[in-house]
Structure 1
Amino acid sequence: MGDIRSLDMDTATISKTFQGIREHFSGQRESTEMSIAHVLRTSHPGFDVTCTAKSDYDLLGYAKAGYATASEIFGEAFDATRTYVSPSTRAGDDAPKLRDNIRCGSWRYTWEENEFLLYEVYYHAPFQAPKQICFVLSPRSHGVTDRTSPVIDALLLAAGSWSAKLHNEICVFDNGAWKKSKKLWDSVQGSSWDDVILNQDMKANLIKDVQGFFDNEKLYKNLAVPWKRGLILHGVPGNGKTISIKALINTLYTRPDPVSSLYIKSFTCCAGEKFAIGEIFKRARKMAPCLLIFEDLDSLVRDKTRSYFLNEVDGLESNDGILMIGSTNHLDALDPAIAKRPSRFDRKYHFKLPNEAERSAYCQFWRKKLIDSDMVEFPEALCDIVAKLTEGFSFAYLKELFVISLLTVARGHTGEDDLVIVEEEKKDEKLGLERADNAKEVKAEDNAAEKSEGTAAPEKKPTVPEVAIPASLKDNTLLQILHSQTRMLLEEMDNTDQSKGKAGKAAEKDGGDAKNNFFIQRAQEGHLFGGDDDDE
């Protein structure tokens, strides 16, 4: 009979086992699992041996969560690389750590008063992704069937059920593999629809569509309608797509019956994009009901994978319980088979530039955050004025406007220097207009020539609207700084548009096409969770 406790003091058996595993890896190999299982049965004759995939059974994570205990019995023979783990941020409170990336290790494992030996082996097979396999050993005194141990099977069922669920995590698919991201889950905590400034009707409809889908499984079945839906969130960057998705993830997780979220960053995979698409929908079907999020759908689905993707979306296999959300900054770049065909992505939500009322509501949002601050005077009347000054601003630019203005106030800036700069700029504009009038006759012929060649007239440069400022607010420091920063951000917008235009012309000159220009634009915009462009 096997005795696990005796292994605590005597590591000779463990060392002998590691020696056998090393011998296997030092020469030609055909079946790693079979070879290691043979080594373990030889070195532990009183034990049943079961081989599993670590991806299916996170036994160490199960123990770390408090459902079992695991203690190392490596001795001096285990194989690992010790790595340095820096703090999450340079200014963070967490201390640096050392971590072992174990290639071969063993643990004494206790679950429900049953004791086991656990071996984990990490290795690379030729032309395959790295593998991590686990061997669970149990003393034969627990009983045995023809080929399995009942007590090992009971442990694997319990650990497997736990591993299949998300525990304050979001499933992320990237580089051909699924990972559970606690960091991404942390980033959506606190996201609330109260912080999302959108058209009220559109926001209410979006919430109703998502919550109603998961509330009405029985209704779908009673009506004999497939319980699946697809939504597309589209619009220029910076107008609320990301924060809306974060609010959706958080509110779905806080339901009485929490709904898991799966986030797709890319289809890139060494086995090919079709394999990746298959793995994505295979996992989604297992975790349904769930929210399946495709970041930048227009760049994910390409011509060579479009048919395969569409077959997974509405093919023969059931997608019951899957609500898909695809985000895109370029709806016109989406294939019509995805964007316009019913039963795939049924509803589209257009995140437009905010109108004056929405800009005023966003200013009120910032005012509420600063209501108790003694560093800045932020009267309510200021909100409508700022809303008028910021015509054409996205929520992302509005956020930048408030951030940089408040930082300027915090540095003790009074706003007087900005007024001087504004007056000088107005003089320069006036002088420029006078010079333009004097040169009008000279330019007339050039403009006529440009029009005859089909050259488009230059767009009008954006300017800050003229807004009447009440006497009570003319000396308000925050308003003066906001006004000045608005002008600067408008200049930045104008320069960005000009650089995009020049880049597009250069691409066309070099033989590029519309798709090249599209990718140039994409490089300047960022991704849903990869940047701050779309945070608000």
Structure 2
Amino acid sequence: MAKKQALIKFTTNRNIHPHYYDYATAVQHVKNILKQKIGTELNLYHAGEDVHTLFETMHDMINENDVDVEILSSVYDNVSASTIKFTIEKNYYVIPSISNNVYYFRKYDVAMVRMPIYQNHEDFEEDFIFAKNDESLIRFINEMIAMQRQSMMKGITVFTDTDEGVVRHREKITQQIPREEVLLSEHIKRDIFRAIDEFFLKSGEFFKQYNIPYKRGILLYGNPGNGKTTLVKSIAGSVAAPIVYWQITENTSSYSIQEIFETVTKMAPMILVIEDIESMPDYARSAFLNALDGATSKEGIFLIGTTNYPERIDPALINRAGRFDRAYEIKQPDESLRCLYLEKKGIKQFLDEERFLYLVDKTKGLSIAQLNEVYMSIALQWHYEEPIDIDQIVQDLLENHRRTVKQEWDSDDYVKKVGF
């Protein structure tokens, strides 16, 4: 399409609207920098609301010192152009800021700028993309999305809804959890992993062969501490696909829902995990249901919802086909699972076979997380006192759990025990 003449042109004359002058001055300086540094003028494009993926990919490239992206200049001289980062290894490092720098991708003749805009009524940031032509821009976007998908497969991408919008960060999978270490009843574990494998193996060939829509949704529910998170981590470590972990908060809105589904659709096939799905705010539920029902919004997405309180879930989520196909209860471990877990933890270094079996029986009704605490308490008691009082350890744990659930922290007897 031929480029048309603009009705209003930017000049240094400040008689034009002051807000436009302030805005256009910054943009014009970027255009001048680009022409000066690369020797040609690039066209300005509106970045749109779904451009976050491009900036996330650029952020990864900066972290990895990718030579395909270079900084031509910062925009404002007295606005920071570098950011201090802190790693899980507790090391500090400095990288260029996404904001206030002009980034250029010479391979594509494309530049990207997240620029602070200062006006008298508010300050904000806006994203700009400059490209030689439409074709180079489209090629750039497609390749950046492909790069982002590859990058996301190096860990779990966590989306958190905040009052400033959706915040993203990447978490490395520091410990692979083999499927055999997931403590669930065998038929549930078989069903879930079989569905996962068929979804991601051979590009969903199973779904095409049997004319099944290429999307899947499962809901994991049950008391906390029984392995829902462990199951998700095991799935994440065993599939070659991006994993997005979405944390719903009171700030979840129709806008954040739209942004998240737009992002994950581009990354498909992939897994979207929604933690504590019952906490979806009432005012956002309609938008969420609409996103689940969209014709293409779930294509290629394996959706996993988790909840500790299934009774609080909107019935519309699970009473309509195409939202969640199956619901699995993650129950308290039975005797065989308690025996297996405690044995794997190494509890037999402290107990003979008779006392071990007695402990397994006494811990009936405890969760996996509580069994872990039983192991910790026994190890501490053995380390400092050697004689192990199984009855007292289990009783104290059950009492602590009862008071936590009922929020009964004010009795004099218990205050003396905890030392407050």
Report the Cα distance in structure 2 between the residues aligned to 1:323 and 1:385, rounded to whole angstroms.
42
| Structure 1 equivalent of residue 418 of structure 2 | none
Report the Cα distance in structure 2 between the residues aligned to 1:109 and 1:316, rounded to whole angstroms.
35
Give, as a single letter, the amino acid of the residue that structure 2 aligns with 1:414: E
Give, as a single letter, the amino acid of the residue that structure 2 aligns with 1:281: F
Report the Cα distance in structure 2 between the residues aligned to 1:108 and 1:305, rounded to whole angstroms.
38
Secondary structure in 1 matching 2:80: strand
Report the Cα distance in structure 1 between the residues aligned to 2:250 and 2:20, rounded to whole angstroms.
29
Q: How does 1:393-432 map to 2 (within 5 A)?
A: 393-410=366-383, 412-415=384-387
Give, as a single letter, the amino acid of the residue that structure 1 aligns with 2:79: D
Question: Are the equivalent residues in 2 in contact too, given 1:71–1:109 (CA < 8 A)?
Answer: no
Structure-2-length-normalised TM-score? 0.75
Q: Quick one: structure 1 residues 128 and 382, their matched pair in 2 at CA, closer, same or farther if it must change by over 3 Å?
A: farther
Match of 1:343 among 311, 315, 322: 322
> 1:259 Cα shift?
1.6
Question: Are the equivalent residues in 2 in contact too, given 1:281–1:312 (CA < 8 A)?
Answer: yes
Q: Quick one: structure 1 residues 382 and 214, their matched pair in 2 at CA, closer, same or farther if it must change by over 3 Å?
A: farther
Question: Are the equivalent residues in 2 in contact too, given 1:267–1:300 (CA < 8 A)?
Answer: yes
> 1:307 Cα shift?
3.3
Give, as a single letter, the amino acid of the residue that structure 1 aligns with 2:28: H
Q: How does 1:41-80 map to 2 (within 5 A)?
A: 41-42=31-32, 44=35, 46-51=39-44, 53=47, 55=52, 56-57=54-55, 58-59=57-58, 61-62=60-61, 64=64, 66-68=66-68, 70=70, 77=77, 79-80=79-80
Q: Quick one: structure 1 residues 50 and 131, their matched pair in 2 at CA, closer, same or farther if it must change by over 3 Å?
A: same
Cα deviation digits, residues 9-62 of structure 1 (max 9, x gap) = xxxxxxxxxxx9xx99xx943387754443344453532225465732544643
The question of 1:163 aligning with 2:148 is answered yes
Report the Cα distance in structure 2 between the residues aligned to 1:414 and 1:380, rounded to whole angstroms.
17
Secondary structure in 2 matching 1:278: helix
Paired residues, what number? 381
Report the Cα distance in structure 2 between the residues aligned to 1:191 and 1:31, rounded to whole angstroms.
57
> 1:148 Cα shift?
2.3
The question of 1:200 aligning with 2:195 is answered no
Give, as a single letter, the amino acid of the residue that structure 2 aligns with 1:243: T
Match of 2:222 among 225, 235, 249: 235
Match of 1:173 among 159, 166, 170: 159
Report the Cα distance in structure 1 between the residues aligned to 2:397 and 2:375, rounded to whole angstroms.
11
| Structure 2 equivalent of residue 496 of structure 1 | 404
Report the Cα distance in structure 2 between the residues aligned to 1:283 and 1:311, rounded to whole angstroms.
16
Match of 1:300 among 280, 288, 294: 280
Secondary structure in 1 matching 2:396: helix
Cα deviation digits, residues 418-473 of structure 1 (max 9, x gap) = xxxxxxxxxxxxxxxxxxxxxxxxxxxxxxxxxxxxxxxxxxxxxxxxxxxxxxxx
> 1:150 Cα shift?
7.3
Question: Are the equivalent residues in 1 in contact too, given 2:215–2:302 (CA < 8 A)?
Answer: yes
> 1:251 Cα shift?
1.1
| Structure 1 equivalent of residue 416 of structure 2 | none
Identity %: 21
| Structure 2 equivalent of residue 287 of structure 1 | 267
Q: Quick one: structure 1 residues 377 and 205, their matched pair in 2 at CA, closer, same or farther if it must change by over 3 Å?
A: same
Question: Are the equivalent residues in 1 in contact too, given 2:265–2:301 (CA < 8 A)?
Answer: yes
| Structure 2 equivalent of residue 456 of structure 1 | none
Report the Cα distance in structure 2 between the residues aligned to 1:317 and 1:155, rounded to whole angstroms.
23
Question: Structure 2: which 5+ residue stretches go unaligned?
Answer: 1-9, 411-420
| Structure 2 equivalent of residue 212 of structure 1 | 198
Q: Quick one: structure 1 residues 128 and 391, their matched pair in 2 at CA, closer, same or farther if it must change by over 3 Å?
A: farther
Cα deviation digits, residues 404-431 of structure 1 (max 9, x gap) = 3223434x3222xxxxxxxxxxxxxxxx
> 1:196 Cα shift?
1.7
> 1:160 Cα shift?
4.7
Q: Quick one: structure 1 residues 152 and 245, their matched pair in 2 at CA, closer, same or farther if it must change by over 3 Å?
A: closer
Secondary structure in 1 matching 2:217: strand
Secondary structure in 2 matching 1:214: helix
Q: Which has the larger radius of gyration?
A: 1
Aligned-residue CA RMSD in angstroms? 3.9
Cα deviation digits, residues 88-121 of structure 1 (max 9, x gap) = 4xxx5x434456646433568665xx9x796744
Question: Are the equivalent residues in 2 in contact too, given 1:119–1:134 (CA < 8 A)?
Answer: yes
Q: Quick one: structure 1 residues 315 and 499, their matched pair in 2 at CA, closer, same or farther if it must change by over 3 Å?
A: same
Report the Cα distance in structure 2 between the residues aligned to 1:117 and 1:289, rounded to whole angstroms.
28
The question of 1:148 aligning with 2:133 is answered yes
Secondary structure in 2 matching 1:403: helix
> 1:243 Cα shift?
0.7
The question of 1:266 aligning with 2:248 is answered yes
The question of 1:105 aligning with 2:84 is answered no
Q: How does 1:314-463 map to 2 (within 5 A)?
A: 314-317=293-296, 319-367=298-346, 376-379=349-352, 382-410=355-383, 412-415=384-387
Q: Quick one: structure 1 residues 382 and 130, their matched pair in 2 at CA, closer, same or farther if it must change by over 3 Å?
A: farther
